[in-house]
Structure 1
Amino acid sequence: MPTVAFHTLGCKVNFYETEAIWQLFKNKGYTQVDFEEEADVYVINTCTVTNTGDKKSRQMIRRAIRKNPNAVVAVTGCYAQTSPAKVLEIPGVDIVIGTQGRDRLLDYVEEYKNSRMPINAVANIMKQKEFEELSVPTFSEKTRAFLKIQEGCNNFCTFCIIPWAKGLSRSRQPESVLQQARTLAANGYREIVLTGIHTGGYGEDLEDYSLPRLLMDLKEIEGLHRIRISSIEASQIGEEMIEVFRNNPKMCRHLHIPLQAGDDTILKSMHRKYTTAQYKEKIEKIKEALPHVAITTDVIVGFPGETEEMFQNTYDYIREIGFAELHVFPYSKRTGTPAARFPNQVPEEVKKERVDRLLELNRELTLRYAKKFEGEVLEVIPEEYYDGDPKSGKVVGYSDNYLRIAFMGSRDLFGKVCRVRLDEAMSEICEGTFARVLEPASV
């Protein structure tokens, strides 16, 4: 039986796509082995969001080639899309496929086996108009299921290479989304995470359909208990979406809404499509419609031209909004983006000091948010053992409002909706007490 090994770099979308590619191999009789083992085929799903992503992608490609020089080595993903010639220059790479046409990967493997000629299957992603159907009916663990509904981005932020790697925004057909959601719910998944490159843009290229409509249609799926959006831009949260938050009880009380900067000069330089005032207004409307919602966000520190005063504006703004969690990134030059050529690049030591200050603020904010729920009973879906150790006697999962809670339990609780009392709030993993499992009929 032929074997295949995968290594994925980058975002959750890439991990979803790797799962989908694995389904193709599994249907052809392949067995999956660990990437560190010898395999007949290696598939490296690459990232190019930063120059470091490119470097790590090359390292993993070379590692696969060293493991088995006779294997078929296929490289896909964002780095493959933007730099196919550089990838093919690596001795031992056999197939380069980019971010479209992955459904033909098995055909390319067979073609290479017959011809022993390298294959460059990378096409112009900017000409791609259709969403690539890559379904994942089941994941390795029955916890949260990811469902990709959208691809590409039309924003062209000055720091970002992604539109050139993923193409322009395109949406999955509604019935395809709903059918996969029904399959996932039938397979035991109680929470679905809607994901994409620019998830909030779903429906903009469809006729008479939108993300709010999709969310309300998903509400009707039997067995589905929670719907979470992986990320959504503030500029794409309109009144119709606010009404969904207010009227769809399956929506998780958690939204990841990228901020990037809390200073209007920097936001304009980034080519973000909102001001700090507009962002704040959206957050206030969301909190009114979805009480106790956890708002998490991304922040880029040390963007070119960011003065100490501008950074302080961001720091103060973040504290004022009261986020539940921050994802903090030092600005990293990405070759090929406008920002990489901007003057007044911020020194690395200044970036590090600012990152450290925001990480300290993050610990304060996450603890403050969690403490609001001490003594309350929340719904948690366990997904792993505490510290990955079954001997701990504890399991860990997320509540609908994105609190990570550990409590006494066993593997048979994985993927089930549990009622858990939050006993002690922590900035990372809270402590709780198990009450009961919700019966399937109630979910």
Structure 2
Amino acid sequence: MKKVAFYTLGCKLNFSETSTLSRIFQERGFEKVEFTDTPDIYVINTCSVTDNADKKCRKVVKEALKHSPNAFITIVGCYAQLKPKEISEIPGVDAVLGAAEKFQLVDILETFEKKDAPQVHASPVSEVNTFVNAYSFGDRTRTFLKVQDGCDYSCTFCTIPQARGKSRSNTIEKVVAEARSIGDSGVKEIVLTGVNTGDFGLQEGVRVENFYQLIQELDQVENVSRFRISSIEPNLLSEEIINFVAGSQRFMPHFHVPLQSGSNKVLKLMRRRYLRELYAQRVEWIKTAMPHACIGVDVIVGFPGETEEDFLETYNFLNGLNISYLHVFPYSERAKTLALDLPSVVPQKERNRRADMLRILSEKKKRAFYESQIGYEGKVLFEADITDGFMEGFTENYVRVVAKYDPVLVNEQKHVRLTNITAAGLMEAEETYHELLAH
């Protein structure tokens, strides 16, 4: 029995697909092992959102060879679709599979025997037109369930349409069936993932269903306690979706809504499908319907043409918004994107400075959000990871709570009152019948 290990770079969607690949291998008689357990095969699932992700891929390959010098190394994912030849030239790589081939890798590679030259199987992205079901399982308490793939948007900084193809979705019927099956296995929280999750409902380029219909049906899945929406574009986050989540017992008051810039000038250069006024409106709608809701924001700084005035406009816009945390990305040049042709390139040092400023703002926002939650009563779902005798879990609105490890608490929900913020920035809590959880 050959041993196989997996490594995932990138987003929750990638984690769901890696987990599915793992199950495919196990069903075919392979033994899944840890990265350091001298496997016969490595499968590295890549991201290519930033240049740093490309560098990470090379580093993971190098580390794999340290642990198992004779292993067969396979690269899949977005980077594999975008630059298959470049990846095949990385020392130690034996096979590269594109988006249309990655779920057939066991059939394509068969014996996983090394050949004189790396094998490259990467069809044009135009041939990537089918939806493949995927969900994570066994890797952590929460399950990431893929409901949508690909993207029809044309943001000038993004390579994802080139890497994953056009927008396409599972059907509501199949998503609900998968959610019920996942719930039957004991999982209590499902995170809905996709490239452009809110664009759910396209089948062969025709809209037959929509995201609002999907969450209405999932809300009827009784054996799953919690659903989260991983990320949703502001122009697709409708008032009816927000109001539905506000009234739902299963959908959590937690939204991750990409902004990218608080400058309308830069948003237009990026070819985003909204302006800052719409974004501010969405935040207001969420907070009106759910005052305790957590709101996360993606931001790109140092985009070509972004002046210091534009950046400060973004900074002040975010500072004035009632949001909870930021994911900050310095702009990274990506091959074959329209942004490469834009003038007024921002120096890398300046991009990093602006990113640092926003990361400090993020810490302030998160701290203020946590402080506003002290005294709040809700439920924490505890996870299995243990660090220095402590475990962690999340409230419905995504406050990270720390507690002294108790095996009985793993994958269990507890009614708590949030009491105090630790030096590490985590929340302590006590059960509502006053039994201290974290002390």
Q: Give the drift of 1:69.
A: 4.7
Q: Give the drift of 1:169.
A: 0.9
Q: Which amino acid aligns with 2:213?
A: R
Q: Give the drift of 1:385.
A: 5.0
| 339-348 vs 204-213, greater mean Cα deviation | 204-213
Asked if structure 2 preserves the Cα contact closer than 8 Å seen for 1:382 and 1:397, the reply is yes
Q: Quote the Cα distance in structure 1 between the aligned partners of 2:116 and 2:344.
A: 49
Q: Cα 1:428–1:99, aligned 2, differ >3 Å: closer, same or farther?
A: farther
SS at match of 2:103: helix
Q: Give the drift of 1:51.
A: 2.2
Q: Give the drift of 1:91.
A: 4.9
> What percent identity do the matched residue pairs reach?
38
Residue in 1 aligned with 2:419? 423
Q: State which of 402, 407, 411 in structure 1 corresponds to 2:407.
A: 411
Residue in 1 aligned with 2:293? 293
Q: Which amino acid aligns with 1:346?
A: V
Task: Supply the RMSD in Å over aligned alpha carbons.
Answer: 2.2
Alignment of 1:250-261 (within 5 A): 250-261=250-261
Q: Quote the Cα distance in structure 2 between the aligned partners of 1:28 and 1:248.
A: 40
Asked if structure 2 preserves the Cα contact closer than 8 Å seen for 1:304 and 1:344, the reply is yes
Asked if structure 2 preserves the Cα contact closer than 8 Å seen for 1:112 and 1:119, the reply is no
| 420-429 vs 191-200, greater mean Cα deviation | 420-429
Q: Quote the Cα distance in structure 1 between the aligned partners of 2:111 and 2:318.
A: 53
SS at match of 1:251: coil
Q: Give the drift of 1:115.
A: 7.8
Residue in 2 aligned with 1:202? 200
Moved over 6 A (4+): 114-117
Q: Which amino acid aligns with 1:428?
A: G
Residue in 1 aligned with 2:437? none
Q: State which of 402, 421, 425 in structure 1 corresponds to 2:398.
A: 402
SS at match of 1:424: strand
Q: Normalization by structure 2: what TM-score? A: 0.92
Q: Deviations over 1:307-333 (max 9, x none)?
A: 121111111111221211111111122
Q: Give the drift of 1:252.
A: 0.6
Q: Quote the Cα distance in structure 1 between the aligned partners of 2:58 and 2:351.
A: 26
Q: Quote the Cα distance in structure 2 between the aligned partners of 1:145 and 1:99.
A: 22
Q: Quote the Cα distance in structure 2 between the aligned partners of 1:418 and 1:182.
A: 22
Q: Give the drift of 1:334.
A: 1.8
Alignment of 1:170-209 (within 5 A): 170-205=168-203, 207-209=207-209
Q: Cα 1:217–1:155, aligned 2, differ >3 Å: closer, same or farther?
A: same
SS at match of 2:73: strand
Q: Deviations over 1:105-160 (max 9, x none)?
A: 11123155498775322112223222122354x3234x211101111111121111
Q: Quote the Cα distance in structure 2 between the aligned partners of 1:246 and 1:366.
A: 22
| 420-429 vs 24-33, greater mean Cα deviation | 420-429
Q: Give the drift of 1:94.
A: 2.8
Asked if structure 2 preserves the Cα contact closer than 8 Å seen for 1:193 and 1:228, the reply is yes
Q: Deviations over 1:318-365 (max 9, x none)?
A: 122121111111112223222233221112232232222222222221
Q: Which amino acid aligns with 1:434?
A: E
Q: Normalization by structure 1: what TM-score? A: 0.91
Structure 2 gap ranges (5+): 435-439
Residue in 2 aligned with 1:389? 388
Asked if structure 1 preserves the Cα contact closer than 8 Å seen for 2:252 and 2:397, the reply is yes
Q: Quote the Cα distance in structure 1 between the aligned partners of 2:373 and 2:56.
A: 40
Answering whether residue 227 of structure 2 is matched by residue 231 of structure 1, we say no
Q: Give the drift of 1:171.
A: 0.5
Q: Quote the Cα distance in structure 1 between the aligned partners of 2:388 and 2:208.
A: 49
Structure 1 gap ranges (5+): 438-443
Asked if structure 2 preserves the Cα contact closer than 8 Å seen for 1:245 and 1:286, the reply is no
